[in-house]
Amino acid sequence: MSSSAPDPQEKPARLAIGVVGAGRVGPALAAALGLSGHHPVAVNAVSETARRRAEDLLPGVPVVSDPAEVLARADLVLLTVPDDVLPGLVEGLADTGAVRPGQLLIHTSGRYGADVLEPATRAGALPLALHPVMTFTGTQIDVQRLAGCSFGVTAPEELRLAAEALVVEMGGEPEWVDEAARPLYHAALAIGANHLVTLVSQSMELLRTAGVQAPERMLGPLLGAALDNALRSGDAALTGPVARGDAGTVAAHIEQLRAHAPQAVASYVAMARATADRALAHGLLKPELAEDLLGVLAERQGPQ
């Protein structure tokens, strides 16, 4: 590639794609770019699991142990490593001269914007932050799930349209996120997705304890409807004893949790308080009922 930035008004040229970090994300994105006509040329993987994943999603693409070798072969490099590893990796690649002028360097971290790539940018790289808002399995199904997936995009203004075009080529929907807003953006996604898994798993465990034989079948329609209602209506979709102000029911819940699943009490109380605050603010919970409800939650917050 030349050292000049690609024309953001044009569809990106066919590029040689490299992946540093063969976790669940990188090979899937490289495979999606391959389907759009780009050419995966190298994948960095160390563990046997990572090597097998790379070979499954990118058959025939060389798997190498040295990240610098990936950069030597690729026009566009996907840095798909854990958040805490990314700054040191970028600095190391820049310090060793692995970065080439004009090379597109893309990371997929939700936490960081383009600024974390500054050491490579000083070496002439073109920095892009493209974060797919999706959970990944490390299998072929991930490539299919990218269709319609939102990507949080952050890049220098002159590269914005080029970054968005690459997202579209992967089947995604670009959503611009300002550099300063990246940590808040990522926190929002963690609350929604990561905490959802914890809540659902906890709910299934409690249902099994209560004797339900197929908690996933019981929860599926309920949680599907709740999610759909929440996405459509926000706080107006709140239902249940907290939103109704049924303090006695909430107290009974907490007593049962203390008896059968004490590790769940803290999360129940925290979520109940947050739900009560939102229901009260949106006029769903009557103030006189909220007082009794919040009193129950305060009484039962500590160990008994």
User: 154 and 49: one domain?
Assistant: yes
pLDDT at 264: 95
Mean pLDDT per 10-residue interval, the chain, length 304 residues: 44 85 94 96 93 94 96 98 96 97 97 98 98 94 96 98 96 97 96 94 97 97 97 96 96 96 95 96 94 89 54
* Residue at a domain's end among 157, 177, 197: 177
Query: What is the domain extent for residue 265?
Result: 184-299
pLDDT at 2: 41
User: 63 and 151: one domain?
Assistant: yes
pLDDT at 22: 82
User: 261 and 294: one domain?
Assistant: yes
In a domain, 152, yes or no: yes
Give CA–CA dist 87/242, Å, rounded: 43
What residue spans of the chain are helical by DSSP H?
Answer: 26-35, 48-57, 67-73, 86-95, 118-122, 141-145, 160-169, 182-189, 195-209, 215-233, 241-244, 247-260, 265-281, 287-299
Please state, as a whole number, how many other Cβ atoms lie within 10 Å of the Cβ of residue 85. 12
pLDDT at 1: 42
